[in-house]
Structure formats: structure tokens, C-alpha cells
């Protein structure tokens, strides 16, 4: 039934889109309809949010083919967030958690594990998704809350704009322009669990180049020691990170602008599950964005960036005799005639590198038609003996060509269509697409219907992992994970109905989304027999099939510059299964227990006289079982924040007190990760 409905709707939508384009091209007199005809007179009198994430075109939320959440500067300042990851507690449908004190994760709808995938994350258009772990390492991206201008979250598949990894959603973190501020900014925070954060930023000019240069340091001691299944857990999961970033902007003429970015970071983390080991992560990036405004009103852009991560794990060296608990002189020694041997070294080193170049054109071929078309080439390289069972590196080159169209059919109807063709080395090419129609029911109230068909290709880790412990070239002692040689792309079909409405002269907004997502060939691990010491191995393969049905709503009420209220609620239900054990003993398990069915939250903030601001942020999570984690009960977390600002000789001084999780402790991901009440005192000084 769903397949027939989806097929018919796709055909009708494409016919309507193509027919409308043909009519306008062949008309003797093109209709005099502005590209943004859905705007009303009030749009010129109030500030209208603009988004680019769904299509790379500058659009209003009423024109976009997807649901979008914008976390702007005022919201960030009012929030009780300590880091970037905390901001996603404000977004419906997102699960945000700490795997341990050093590792953070966020995901949308799908199974949230220790390395959440299927979510594209970018900083100013630069992808920070790593092929080495098939996930984002939030500890190394080098962005603090003071650096962010706004965050744009596309809730729904966005492959037609951002490629296959935007399988379920995409995030773009936009940092502050060097043209916004000037002078020095110093920010420090001291708090519970040995929280020690400090930022130093300078915004100024180096000749014709405006720049913002930042230094930051963050540390905490992680979770306290706890118990799991009656056994003590000594949590050595502290983290310490130093980063430095530079963002420069040069505009040699009225048409061209060049943006340069570079950054480095060094992190020392304690990671693990019940048992912890030190990890050092060194990360660096370089980024160039050239933009040219054309006389026709269009724009050309070229983005080039390079990411490089070098990671070292310090592990306990292990002799085979210690692993087996018997000496090599014992009659039970399983390798007669072969001596004892060190099978696990004291260090493991991994590398991940990416080069990416993208050329994009934003065009206005007709009065009522806008288009974005682009081509991109990406080179990924990974290396790690432990993960890939080879000393040499592995690499792949991928190509992407995409087009997004926005057709203003009338003063009430806007149609969007997006198509992307992707191709990787030694793999077949594949198409992903999205079609959507936005209809203005009446002024300030828009209904949207959207269809997606997306593919997600395996990362290098997913397609090439071969995690083995060897005695020598011929004897494998233990096989942990091996990728199936015929692993396929993941597939997604989705349909959504959305509503966007404004009331009270746009002071109050509603954004609702009803969706159904069908995922097939989802990559996970199945157990299978293997001729090693424990006689089984995990095979990474296309093991999961599931549907996600749900509903989301977010509201915002901002009557003036002093008061802000944001609320959200989401319901999602996973119905599916995974192949847990391969034949001959086939075992299939249900995935519904991993559903985060209910999520809700709010942020309220009010600015009083004399520079005093009070804020509260709450988030509710229903009971769930984290995938590869623990069962965690439902909980409501409430945070409080009070701040006071003084202005002295053109300088601003902000003093704040933040209390996270007022009330009883709750569990994060694992049962032994107990999040207690945290107190953080902050001081920020801004000088011209």
C-alpha cells in the first residue's frame, strides 16, 4: 500500500514540476511572479529567519522542502548548554547522551549507539564526519558556544543537498563572522566534576583581512565511580582538550569574497566500557571558500577543505599466556611447539584524512525558478592495523553531482525537487532524490508534503573492517569484526506532512511534522561461526530492516528582546528486526525496544532590568534501551541559569551561575554513568 502510494505521489509531483517548468519556458510572456511570492507585506516589516541547509539556496522556512530547526545566537546565550552537544536537547526527535565522560553522541530517530551514524555534521559547510569511526568525534571539532552564530538542523533526509551521509538528518554549525565583533573576549568556567573551561578570542584586521582567532581549553573528570551488576566500576573517563582556530575574510572587490579557516586541536581522553584506557587525538583542518556574485543575481562558490586526524590508544600489553590463564609449558597449551607471545601491543595508532572540493552555482533561470547545481570530489584515507589488519592505508575517491530546484508555481504554491548522483571507487553509482510541495493555506500558514528516496553508502570502516588478533600470518587467535565482502548501500524511503504557522505578528511560530521512514539493508553486525578460540565473529553486513513512524512539534514565542520561550515534543516508534545470529542457528531480534518513543523539552528566558537574565531548560526522555548500551529509565532533567551583565568603560562583564540537573541523578547510556547535579560559575569579559 505504501509503495503504491509513494510511487503514485512521486509520479504526480514530478509531472507537476516538469509540466510547470515547460509551461513557463514556452510562454511568450513569462509570468511576473517574484521568486518569493509566498511572502506577505508583513515580511518586509519583521525579521524573517532564512535557511540554506535543505537546498543550499537562501529560503524562508515556508519555502523549504524539509523541517528545519534554527538555534540562533539569542537561544544559545539563553540556554543552559555547556558544550555544542547540549544544544541538540532543544531539537525534537534527537537523542543526545554521553557514552562516557569523554565521548558524546547525538542521533535522529535511528538506533543510538556509541558511534551514532547516518547524520551529516558540518561546520561552515565543512564535513566533520570521520570515516575511521563512521561518526563524529565531538571532542575535536574546535567549536565553542562563543564561536557559534547559529545552528541549522534539517530534520529529515537531506542527501540531495549534502550527500549520502545526510541519511536521516543534517546539521550545519555556522560560526561567527569576523565582521560581527571587534576586540577581545575572555570566558572562563569553573564547576563540579573538575570542570575547567577557558576561551580567548580576538577579532580584528590584518591588513585587508578581517579575522577571528580563538584559543580554548576544556577539561572535566568525567563520571564518578559507580556500580554495575553489583561490581564496582572505576570510571577513568576524564577529558582535556586544547584547540586553536583562525577564520579570515577577505573581500578584494564588490563581487568576490574569500574565507580562510584553519584549526588544530589536541585531546587527551579516557574512554571505554567498564574498563578505560587513555586516548590522544590530534586534529587539524584547513578550509577555503570562494564566492562570486554574478550580475544576473546568481552566485558561484568553490569550497576546498582538508581534515586530518591522528589517534593513539594506550592499551595494556597482553601475553597469550595471560589471556588464556595458562603458561606455554602446560599440557593444555593450545599451540604445541609454539612459545608464548605478546599478542596485544601497548599502543594502537589510527589515521583518518579527507580532501574535499566542491563547485556550486546558484542560478535564477526564470523569474519564478531558482536552481542550485554542484559537483564535488572527495578523497578519504584511513589507516589502523587493529581495525583493518594491515599496515598500509586504505583509501577511496567519491564523486557527487547534484541539482536542487525551487519553482514558485503561484502566490500560494512552491515546488522543490532535488537529485544527487553519487559514485565511489569500485562501486556502482546511485541516485537519491527528494520532491516536495509547499502550499500556503492562508497567509502565514503553510502545508508541506515531501517524499524522499535516499541511499547511504558504507564508509571505509564499514566496508573494509577486519579486526583480528593474530599469533602469526597463519594463526588467528580471535576475530572480533569482519566486514562482509558484498555489503550494500543502506536504503531509505520516507514521506512527511508538515505544517508551519505564525501567529501574533510572527511572535509565535508552530512547526509540526508527521512522518514515516522505511529503512532497509541497514548496516549492523551479525554473529557467525569462525575458527578461532571462541568460535564466533561479528560480521558487519546489511542486517536490519525497520520502520520509524512518528510526530514532532516545535514552537517558539518571542514577543520582544527580553522574553523567549521554546518548546518541543516528539513521538517515534521503531518497528523492525535485526539478524543477530547467522544460519545455521538463525536468530532474529526485535528492534522496537530501542525506540525513544517520547521526548520533550522547553527553554524559557527573561531579561530583567540592570542586566539580569534568568533561564530554565528542561528535557524529558522516556525509558529506552540504548543500542549496545543499557536500559535507562525515563527522566526529566531541569537546568537553571542566572546571569548579570555590567558595562564598564565600553567593556561588558558577564557573571553567570549554571545548575545542570536540579534534582535526582539519572543514567546516561550505561547504567553506571550517573549524571549528578553540576554547578558551574562563569565569567566573560568583552573589550573593544
pLDDT in tens, 292-323: 999 888 999 999 999 999 999 998 899 999 98
Least confident of 37-41, 349-353, 555-559, 578-582: 37-41
Confidence band of 134 (pLDDT split at 50, 70, 90): confident
* CATH number at 2-314+346-687: 2.40.170.20
Place of cell 543510538: 112
Burial of 678 (0-12, 13-18, 19+ CB in 10 A): middle
| DSSP string computed for 32-56 | ---TTTT--GGGGTS----B-TTTS
Q: What is the average pLDDT across 244-248?
A: 97
Q: What is the average pLDDT across 193-222?
A: 96
Confidence band of 117 (pLDDT split at 50, 70, 90): confident
Least confident of 25-39, 197-211, 291-305, 569-583: 25-39
Q: Please tell me what DSSP assigns to residue 10.
A: H
Residue 387 clears pLDDT 90, i.e. is over it: yes
pTM for the whole thing? 0.91
**Cα–Cα distance for residue pair 370/58, rounded to 1 Å:** 10
pLDDT in tens, 470-509: 999 999 999 999 999 999 999 999 999 999 999 999 999 9
Residue 550 clears pLDDT 50, i.e. is over it: yes
Mean pLDDT across the chain: 90
Centre a 10 Å sphere on the Cβ of residue 281 and count the other Cβ atoms it contains: 20
pLDDT in tens, 73-109: 999 999 999 999 999 999 999 999 999 988 999 999 8
Q: Is 24 helix (H, G, I), strand (E, B) or coil?
A: helix
Percent of the chain with pLDDT over 90: 79
Residue 14 clears pLDDT 50, i.e. is over it: no
Residue 556 clears pLDDT 90, i.e. is over it: yes
Q: What is the average pLDDT across 337-356?
A: 93
Confidence band of 156 (pLDDT split at 50, 70, 90): very high
Amino acid 47: pLDDT: 57
Residue 28 clears pLDDT 80, i.e. is over it: no
Residue 454 clears pLDDT 70, i.e. is over it: yes
Contact in structure between 277 and 271 (CB atoms under 8 Å): yes
Residue 161: partners with Cβ closer than 8 Å, 6 or more residues away? 53, 54, 55, 56, 154, 170, 402, 404, 418, 420
**Cα–Cα distance for residue pair 23/409, rounded to 1 Å:** 10
Amino acid 49: pLDDT: 78
Amino acid 32: pLDDT: 35
Confidence band of 48 (pLDDT split at 50, 70, 90): low
Amino acid at each position: 500500500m505504501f509503495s503504491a502510494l509513494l510511487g503514485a505521489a512521486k509520479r504526480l509531483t514530478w509531472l507537476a514540476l516538469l509540466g510547470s517548468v515547460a509551461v513557463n519556458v514556452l510562454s511568450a510572456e513569462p509570468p511576473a511572479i517574484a521568486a518569493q511570492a509566498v511572502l506577505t507585506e508583513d515580511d518586509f516589516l519583521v525579521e524573517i529567519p532564512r535557511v540554506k541547509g535543505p537546498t543550499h539556496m537562501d529560503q524562508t522556512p515556508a519555502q523549504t522542502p524539509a523541517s528545519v530547526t534554527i538555534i540562533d545566537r539569542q537561544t544559545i546565550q539563553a540556554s543552559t548548554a555547556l558544550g555544542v552537544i547540549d544544544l541538540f536537547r532543544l531539537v525534537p526527535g534527537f537523542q543526545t547522551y554521553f557514552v562516557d565522560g569523554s565521548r558524546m553522541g547525538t542521533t535522529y530517530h535511528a538506533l543510538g549507539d556509541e558511534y551514532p551514524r547516518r547524520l551529516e555534521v558540518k561546520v561552515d559547510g565543512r564535513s566533520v564526519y570521520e570515516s575511521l569511526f563512521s561518526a563524529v568525534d565531538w571532542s575535536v571539532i574546535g567549536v565553542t558556544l562563543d564561536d557559534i552564530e547559529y545552528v541549522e538542523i534539517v530534520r529529515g533526509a537531506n542527501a540531495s543537498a549534502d550527500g549520502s551521509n545526510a541519511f536521516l538528518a543534517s546539521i550545519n554549525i555556522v560560526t561567527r563572522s569576523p565582521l560581527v565583533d571587534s576586540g577581545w573576549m575572555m570566558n572562563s568556567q569553573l564547576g563540579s566534576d573538575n570542570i575547567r573551561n577557558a576561551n580567548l578570542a580576538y577579532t580584528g584586521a590584518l591588513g585587508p583581512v578581517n579575522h577571528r582567532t580563538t584559543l580554548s581549553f576544556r577539561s572535566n573528570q568525567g563520571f564518578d565511580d559507580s556500580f554495575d551488576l553489583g561490581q564496582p566500576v572505576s570510571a577513568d573517563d576524564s577529558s582535556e582538550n586544547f584547540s586553536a582556530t583562525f577564520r579570515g575574510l577577505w573581500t578584494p572587490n564588490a563581487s568576490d569574497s574569500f574565507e580562510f579557516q584553519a584549526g588544530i586541536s589536541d585531546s587527551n581522553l579516557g574512554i571505554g566500557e567498564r574498563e578505560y584506557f587513555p586516548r590522544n587525538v590530534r586534529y587539524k583542518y584547513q578550509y577555503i571558500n570562494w564566492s562570486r556574485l554574478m550580475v544576473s543575481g546568481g552566485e558561484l562558490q568553490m569550497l576546498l577543505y582538508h581534515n586530518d586526524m591522528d589517534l593513539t590508544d594506550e592499551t595494556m600489553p597482553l601475553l597469550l599466556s595471560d589471556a588464556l590463564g595458562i603458561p606455554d609449558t602446560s599440557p593444555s597449551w593450545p599451540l604445541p611447539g609454539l612459545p608464548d607471545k605478546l599478542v596485544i601491543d601497548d599502543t594502537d595508532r589510527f589515521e583518518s584524512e579527507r580532501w574535499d572540493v566542491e563547485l556550486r552555482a546558484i542560478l535564477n533561470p526564470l523569474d519564478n525558478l531558482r536552481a542550485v547545481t554542484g559537483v564535488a570530489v572527495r578523497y578519504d584515507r584511513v589507516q589502523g592495523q587493529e581495525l583493518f589488519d594491515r599496515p598500509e592505508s586504505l583509501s577511496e575517491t567519491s564523486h557527487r553531482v547534484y541539482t536542487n530546484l525551487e519553482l514558485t508555481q503561484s502566490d500560494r504554491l512552491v515546488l522543490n525537487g532535488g537529485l544527487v548522483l553519487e559514485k565511489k571507487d569500485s562501486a556502482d553509482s546511485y541516485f537519491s532524490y527528494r520532491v516536495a510541495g509547499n502550499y500556503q493555506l492562508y497567509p502565514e500558514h503553510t502545508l508541506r508534503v515531501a517524499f524522499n528516496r535516499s541511499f547511504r553508502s558504507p564508509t571505509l570502516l564499514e566496508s573494509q573492517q577486519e579486526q583480528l588478533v593474530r599469533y602469526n600470518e597463519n594463526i588467528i587467535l580471535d576475530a572480533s569484526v569482519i566486514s562482509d565482502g558484498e555489503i550494500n548501500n543502506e536504503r531509505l524511503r520516507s514521506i512527511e506532512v508538515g505544517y508551519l504557522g505564525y501567529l501574533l505578528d510572527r511572535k509565535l511560530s508552530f512547526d509540526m511534522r508527521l512522518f514515516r521512514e522505511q529503512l532497509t539493508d541497514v548496516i549492523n553486525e551479525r554473529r557467525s561461526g569462525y575458527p578461532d578460540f571462541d568460535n564466533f565473529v561479528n560480521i558487519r553486513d546489511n542486517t536490519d530492516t525497520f520502520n520509524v513512524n512518528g510526530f514532532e512539534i516545535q514552537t517558539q514565542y518571542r514577543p520582544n528582546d527580553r522574553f523567549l520561550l521554546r518548546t518541543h515534543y516528539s513521538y517515534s516508534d521503531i518497528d523492525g528486526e535485526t539478524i543477530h545470529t547467522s544460519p545455521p542457528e538463525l536468530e532474529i531480534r526485535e528492534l522496537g525496544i530501542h525506540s525513544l518513543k517520547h521526548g520533550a523539552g522547553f527553554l524559557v528566558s527573561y531579561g530583567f532590568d540592570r542586566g539580569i537574565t534568568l533561564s530554565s531548560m528542561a528535557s524529558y526522555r522516556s525509558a529506552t534501551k540504548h543500542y549496545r548500551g543499557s536500559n535507562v529509565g525515563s527522566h526529566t532533567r531541569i537546568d537553571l541559569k542566572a546571569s548579570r551583565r555590567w558595562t564598564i568603560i565600553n567593556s561588558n562583564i558577564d557573571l553567570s551561575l549554571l545548575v545542570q540537573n536540579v534534582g535526582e541523578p539519572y543514567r546516561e547510556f550505561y547504567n553506571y554513568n550517573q549524571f549528578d547535579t553540576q554547578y558551574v560559575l562563569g565569567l566573560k569579559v568583552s573589550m573593544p
